[in-house]
C-alpha cells in the first residue's frame, strides 16, 4: 500500500486527487441509454439487460411471497439467529429516529404545526453483483416499516442459480412487501418509470455499484433518492498504540467490496504505517476476494504519515469517508474534531464489520465525499413533512401591515390584496 510522508498542504492536494469524483462519461452514457430504453420499452428492455449483464433469462421478475416464507424456513439455525439479532438491534436503534408531528398553540388564536406522513411506496435496491447482501435488506427495510411505509418494493440482481435464500429470508424478516429480481441501472430505471411488472415508486433507497449510483443520480427528479451510496470506503486514524494486524484487516474488510472501494490510513507513526503495509500484503494473499481487494488497495488505497493528531483529523475531514475508525488512545475525546464522516467507529473493539451487521446503526452511508452534507439512511428518509397554519381574524389583522409591505416590496400586488380582502368593509 502506498505510503506518503508529506506536509499537510501537499497531502491535501494528493487526497483531493484520490477522492475526486471524476465524471465517467462512458458510464454516464451507458446508464442514460439503459434508463431511456427501460422507460420506453418496459419489461422487454429489462429482460434484455438481465440477459446481457447478469446472464439470466427471465420470463417473470417477480418473486412470489410464499418463496420468502420458504426461504426463512430453509436457512440454517445460526444464520436465522444472526439475522434476528441484527433485526433486533437495528430496530431498537432506529426506533429512536422516529419523528413526531407537532402542533404549536403557544399564541392564542394561532395554530401552526408539522405533520409527518410516511411515503406511500419506496424501492429498496439490494446489491447482488459480486456478493449477496441480506444485511442491507434489514438496514433498508426495517426503517421503512418503522416509518410506516405501506408498499416496500425490493429489487436485487438475479442469479443463475436463483436468489440466495438468505436474501429472501432477510426480506421476510424486514417486512418487505414485493420482491423483483432485477439489478443494476435497469432496476433503478424500472423503479423510477415503472414497467408492466414492476411498479414505479416515490423514492429509491439503497447502495450499489457505480452503475446503480449513477442511475440513481440520473433518475433524481422523476423520483426522490436517499443519497449516493456507492462503492464502500474506510478511513482509519491510528497512532502507535494501534495494532497493525487489526488495522490491515479492517482496511481489507472494505476493500473486498469492490475494485472501486477506498481504504485509507492516516497516522502519526511511521512504524505503524510500514507494519500495516506489510500486513496488507500478507493478509491479501489469503483472501478469497483478493483480486477485488488488491485492485482497490493498489488503485485507491493509501497511507499518510502526518506530524500530529490535529493534522490527521484535518486531512480526514477533507476525505469525508463513509466509515471512520478512530484507533487512537482514548478515542472518545476526539469526537468533537470529526466534521465529515458517515459513521464513526471508536476504539479497538468497534471494528467496521460490527457496524455492517449487528451494532444497530445503519450501514447505508454516504460515499465519495458526500458525508460533507449527507447522513446515514434512517427512518427520516422514509417520511415527508407537511406544515399547516390556522389564524383567527385578530392575529391576521396584527400581521396585515407586515404582510402587505413585504408583498408590495416583491411587486406582488395580488398577495397584498388577498390579505386586505379579509378586512374590506362590506360594500
Ligand X SMILES: N[C@H](CO)Cc1c[nH]c[nH+]1
Indicate the DSSP class of residue 163.
S
In whole angstroms, how close is the CB of 65 to ligand NAD at the nearest point?
23
Per CB under 6 A, the segment of 133-141, 392-400, 402-410, 413-421 that binds ligand X is: 133-141
> 133, 193, 302, 345: which one contacts ligand X (CB under 6 A)?
133
Q: Check binding of 226 to ligand X (CB under 6 A).
A: no
What DSSP line would sit under 213-234, residue for residue?
HHHHHHHBTTBEE-----S-EE
Helices 184-193, 25-54: inter-axial angle, 10-degree rounding:
100
Q: Which three cell numbers stand for residue 388?
A: 399547516
User: Could you say which of 50, 178, 233, 322 is catalytic?
Assistant: 322
- How far is 225 from 235, CA to CA, in rounded Å? 25
In whole angstroms, how close is the CB of 103 to ligand NAD at the nearest point?
36
For residue 181, what are the β-bridge partners? 156
Q: Site size for ligand NAD, by CB under 6 A? A: 30
Query: By Cβ distance, which residue is nearest to ligand NAD?
Result: 184
135 contact choice in ligand X, Zn ion, ligand NAD, none (CB below 5 to 8 Å, kind-dependent)? ligand X
Helices 77-95, 134-147: inter-axial angle, 10-degree rounding:
40
87/145 with CB nearer Zn ion: 87
340 contact choice in Zn ion, ligand X, ligand NAD, none (CB below 5 to 8 Å, kind-dependent)? none
Annotated binding site for Zn(2+): 254, 257, 356, 415
Indicate the DSSP class of residue 200.
P
Q: Check binding of 133 to ligand NAD (CB under 6 A).
A: yes
Q: Check binding of 356 to Zn ion (CB under 5 A).
A: yes
Q: Check binding of 157 to ligand NAD (CB under 6 A).
A: yes
Distance of CA 408 to the CA centre of its chain: 44
90/212 with CB nearer ligand NAD: 212
Q: Do residues 378 and 143 touch, judged by C-beta distance below 8 A?
A: yes
First to last CA, the chain: 84
Q: Check binding of 232 to ligand X (CB under 6 A).
A: yes
157 contact choice in ligand X, Zn ion, ligand NAD, none (CB below 5 to 8 Å, kind-dependent)? ligand NAD
- How far is 198 from 321, CA to CA, in rounded Å? 34
Q: Which three cell numbers stand for residue 94?
A: 432506529
In whole angstroms, how close is the CB of 51 to ligand NAD at the nearest point?
11
**323 included as an active-site residue:** yes
- How far is 291 from 202, CA to CA, in rounded Å? 38
**Contacts for 148 with CB less than 8 Å, ≥ 6 apart:** 118, 382, 383
What are φ and ψ of residue 119, in 5° steps?
-65, 150
For residue 237, what are the β-bridge partners? 266, 326
User: Could you say which of 233, 311, 323, 325 is catalytic?
Assistant: 323
Interface mask toward ligand NAD for 102-131; x: CB under 6 A: -------------------------xxxxx
Annotated binding site for NAD(+): 125, 186, 209
For residue 220, what are the β-bridge partners? 223
Indicate the DSSP class of residue 160.
T
Indicate the DSSP class of residue 25.
H
Q: Check binding of 233 to Zn ion (CB under 5 A).
A: no
321 contact choice in ligand NAD, Zn ion, ligand X, none (CB below 5 to 8 Å, kind-dependent)? none
130 contact choice in ligand X, ligand NAD, Zn ion, none (CB below 5 to 8 Å, kind-dependent)? ligand NAD
C-alpha torsion angle, residues 351, 354, 359, 364 (rounded to 10): 100
Q: Which three cell numbers stand for residue 285?
A: 494473499
**Number of C-alpha atoms within 13 angstroms, CB side, residue 392?**
6
What are φ and ψ of residue 425, in 5° steps?
-70, 140
Interface mask toward ligand X for 234-263; x: CB under 6 A: --------------------x---------
136/296 with CB nearer ligand X: 136
4 contact choice in ligand X, Zn ion, ligand NAD, none (CB below 5 to 8 Å, kind-dependent)? none
In whole angstroms, how close is the CB of 393 to ligand NAD at the nearest point?
52
Residue labelled with grid coordinates 422514509: 382
Question: How would you classify the pairing of strands 262-267 and 233-238?
Answer: parallel
Positions that interact with ligand X (CB under 6 A): 133, 135-136, 232, 254, 322, 356, 363
Positions that interact with Zn ion (CB under 5 A): 356
Positions that interact with ligand NAD (CB under 6 A): 30, 53-54, 127-131, 133, 136, 157, 183-185, 207-209, 211-212, 229, 231-232, 257-258, 261, 322, 363-365, 367
* Catalytic site positions: 322-323
Amino acid at each position: 500500500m502506498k505510503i506518503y510522508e508529506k506536509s499537510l498542504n501537499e497531502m491535501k492536494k494528493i487526497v483531493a486527487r484520490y477522492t475526486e469524483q471524476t465524471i465517467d462519461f462512458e458510464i454516464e452514457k451507458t446508464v442514460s441509454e439503459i434508463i431511456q430504453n427501460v422507460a420506453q420499452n418496459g419489461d422487454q428492455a429489462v429482460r434484455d439487460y438481465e440477459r446481457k449483464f447478469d446472464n439470466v433469462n427471465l420470463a417473470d421478475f417477480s418473486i412470489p411471497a410464499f418463496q420468502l416464507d420458504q426461504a426463512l424456513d430453509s436457512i440454517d439455525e445460526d444464520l436465522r439467529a444472526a439475522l434476528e439479532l441484527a433485526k433486533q438491534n437495528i430496530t431498537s436503534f432506529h426506533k429512536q429516529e422516529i419523528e413526531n408531528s407537532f402542533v404549536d398553540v403557544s399564541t392564542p388564536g394561532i395554530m401552526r404545526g408539522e405533520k409527518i406522513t410516511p411515503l406511500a411506496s419506496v424501492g429498496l435496491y439490494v446489491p447482488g453483483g459480486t456478493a449477496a447482501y441480506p444485511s442491507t435488506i434489514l438496514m433498508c427495510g426495517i426503517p421503512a416499516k418503522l416509518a410506516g411505509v405501506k408498499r416496500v418494493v425490493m429489487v436485487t440482481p438475479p442469479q443463475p442459480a436463483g436468489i440466495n435464500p438468505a436474501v429472501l429470508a432477510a426480506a421476510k424478516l424486514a417486512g418487505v412487501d414485493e420482491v423483483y429480481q432485477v439489478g443494476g441501472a435497469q432496476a433503478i430505471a424500472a423503479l423510477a418509470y415503472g414497467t408492466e411488472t414492476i411498479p414505479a415508486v416515490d423514492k429509491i433507497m439503497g447502495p450499489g455499484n457505480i452503475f446503480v449510483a449513477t442511475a440513481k443520480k440520473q433518475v433524481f427528479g422523476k423520483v426522490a433518492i436517499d443519497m449516493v451510496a456507492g462503492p464502500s470506503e474506510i478511513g482509519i486514524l491510528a497512532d502507535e498504540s494501534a495494532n497493525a494486524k487489526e488495522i490491515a484487516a479492517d482496511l481489507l474488510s472494505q476493500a473486498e467490496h469492490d475494485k472501486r472501494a477506498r481504504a485509507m490510513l492516516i497516522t502519526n507513526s511511521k512504524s505503524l504505517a510500514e507494519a500495516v503495509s506489510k500486513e496488507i500484503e500478507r493478509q491479501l494473499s489469503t483472501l478469497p476476494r483478493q483480486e477485488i481487494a488488491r485492485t482497490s488497495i493498489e488503485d485507491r488505497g493509501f497511507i499518510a504519515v502526518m506530524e500530529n493528531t490535529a493534522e490527521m483529523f484535518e486531512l480526514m475531514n477533507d476525505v469525508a469517508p463513509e466509515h471512520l475508525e478512530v484507533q487512537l488512545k482514548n478515542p472518545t475525546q476526539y469526537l468533537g474534531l470529526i466534521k465529515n464522516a458517515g459513521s464513526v467507529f471508536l476504539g479497538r473493539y468497534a471494528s467496521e464489520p460490527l457496524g455492517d451487521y449487528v451494532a444497530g446503526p445503519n450501514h447505508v452511508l454516504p460515499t465519495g465525499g458526500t458525508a460533507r452534507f449527507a447522513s446515514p439512511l434512517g427512518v427520516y428518509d422514509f417520511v415527508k413533512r407537511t406544515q399547516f397554519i390556522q389564524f383567527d381574524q385578530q392575529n391576521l389583522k396584527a400581521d396585515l401591515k407586515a404582510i402587505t409591505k413585504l408583498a408590495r416590496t416583491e411587486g406582488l400586488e395580488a398577495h397584498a390584496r388577498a390579505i386586505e380582502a379579509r378586512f374590506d368593509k362590506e360594500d
